[in-house]
Amino acid sequence: MNRIILIGNGFDLAHGLATGYKDFINNYWRCFVQNVSNAIFTPYEDELAKFETNDGTSDSYNSWLTSKFGVNRGETYNYDGIMKLRQEIINDSSYDNLKLLITDFNEASDLKLNLLFKNKFFEHISEKTCLNSWLDIENEYYEKLKICVETKDIEKIKQLNEDFEQIKKELEKYLTEETENTSYQEREIQYLFYKDFEPNDFTKNGIDKLIEEKYNDYEKKLAEGGEGVLSQRINDLIDRELIKNARQYFEENANMRLIPPKSILFLNFNYTDTSSRYLQNRFENNDNTIHIHGELNNSANPMIFGYGDELDDDYLKIEKLNNNEYLKNVKSINYLKTNNYRKLLNFINTDFFQIFILGHSCGNSDRTLLNTLFEHKNCVSIKPFYYKKPDGTDNFEEIIMNISRNFKDKAAFREKVVNKTDCKPLPQKENP
């Protein structure tokens, strides 16, 4: 039996990496405010004056998002107010605070500030402060896409895709910088990857498979003349009644629990390679990694960022439009750019397998792929490692509800998913 380690963004966060959506967008606004501060809110009046143009507007700072963060001057301007604003936005460089300060300042001063966006999708997600994860961003894209479907506005879907592509490029730059020169490894995570199978994690079908594999292992050793193998033990395992009552046999024979995975597959949904630190090549088929959503700065395995819920009722409407612009960010289509998906199918078709979920929310954005994995006939166990928050609460229930949405067969969902009493929190790097 094999094991699949399903890796999501929470895995990177557990290693102290600031790779979440909130990290990305907050970093942007910190950099933005710093650049604006350096360009406009200089402590030197003569430097401030040089940004003036004939129409009284300064084109002070441009980026891939903003066409202008400008200063419109009246006959006089409040120099002390400028310096106060500069300090305030440096102290709290969030997008919401920046908007509030601009509004307050414009009401109290002849000097007027304005912020304009070139990337309208980024403006949309910046305005929605309730968004917390990359799954949220993919869902927002999908909702915008469905609006374009209803209106049949080709120009809007083209612009949406251009905006989304720009965000993806900036994300790649950010993640590349954030993950440079990091090598932290969590010993507890290393242990749980390679630990032996535990009986409470499995359906009866899975335990039957484990015992049959153990029997085959003994039989192979006997055929090879292995020492220390008792023929009576083989006869016990051949007994079909014992196999039929596999769980009882498993529990009564403690040494039967020492059954390691034959092979481990790291199914990495991140663009980073944090999981590669744990590769040990300990098994007969070796452990391996599939970067199913691509890798940073690798043209042979480009980043896949979009939506992957072909089970959604609205997806059929999108396909019927017969316009490829609407399908540019469908994950299952982009999977075909590499052989990753085929390698995954080959792995799950070769043997029974258990799934460990580490840091993946199992949301609808990956629903098509997760349904393929979870409802596969060889999947006998799904074990989520949940996040335990500093206040003592956790997200186990949220993960389970998301997992349930990836099942059409609810009986299989209840049978395969390990209950909370046999699950554990995902180990976290302690802050220094």
Residue 85 lies in a domain: yes
Residue 335 lies in a domain: yes
Of 106, 123, 140, the residue that ends a domain is 123
* In a shared domain, residues 312 and 367: yes
Mean pLDDT along residues 239-255: 53
Residue 101 lies in a domain: yes
* In a shared domain, residues 279 and 219: no
The Cα 344–Cα 348 span in angstroms is 6
pLDDT band at 200 (very low <50, low <70, confident <90, very high): confident
Q: In whole numbers, what is the pLDDT of the chain averaged over residues?
A: 80
* In a shared domain, residues 62 and 33: yes
Residue 347 lies in a domain: yes
What are 330-376's pLDDT values in tens digits? 999 999 999 999 999 999 999 889 999 999 999 888 999 999 999 99
Cα torsion 226, 227, 228, 230 to 10°: value is 60
C-beta atoms surrounding 332 within 10 Å: 17
pLDDT band at 28 (very low <50, low <70, confident <90, very high): confident
Q: Is 350 left (phi over 0), alpha (psi -120 to 50) or beta?
A: alpha
Of 107, 123, 139, the residue that ends a domain is 123
What are 142-169's pLDDT values in tens digits? 999 999 988 888 999 999 999 999 999 9
Instruction: Give the DSSP letter of residue 408.
Output: S
Residue 162 lies in a domain: no
Q: Is 194 left (phi over 0), alpha (psi -120 to 50) or beta?
A: alpha
Q: Taking Cα atoms as reference points, which of 117, 171, 158, 164 lies closest to residue 141?
A: 164
* In a shared domain, residues 330 and 188: yes
Does 124 have pLDDT greater than 50? yes
pTM above 0.95, yes or no: no
Does 227 have pLDDT greater than 90? no
Cα torsion 150, 152, 154, 160 to 10°: value is -10
What are 286-327's pLDDT values in tens digits? 558 999 999 999 999 999 999 988 888 888 888 888 899 999
* In a shared domain, residues 297 and 352: yes
pLDDT band at 265 (very low <50, low <70, confident <90, very high): very high
Domain with 206, as residue range(s), is 199-257
* In a shared domain, residues 313 and 393: yes
* In a shared domain, residues 218 and 93: no
* In a shared domain, residues 189 and 333: yes
Phi, psi of 10, rounded to the nearest 5 degrees: -60, -20
How many CA atoms does the CB half-sphere of 307 hold within 13 Å? Answer: 24
* pLDDT (0 to 100) of residue 172: 95
Choose the most confident range, by mean pLDDT, from 28-37, 112-121, 305-314: 305-314
Residue 165 lies in a domain: no
* In a shared domain, residues 267 and 379: yes
Helix, strand, coil percent values for the chain (each to nearest 5): 50, 10, 35
* pLDDT (0 to 100) of residue 394: 95
* In a shared domain, residues 337 and 394: yes
* In a shared domain, residues 264 and 363: yes
The Cα 212–Cα 236 span in angstroms is 12
What is the tally of structural domains in the chain?
A: 3
Of 79, 105, 123, the residue that ends a domain is 123
pLDDT band at 50 (very low <50, low <70, confident <90, very high): very low
* In a shared domain, residues 246 and 347: no
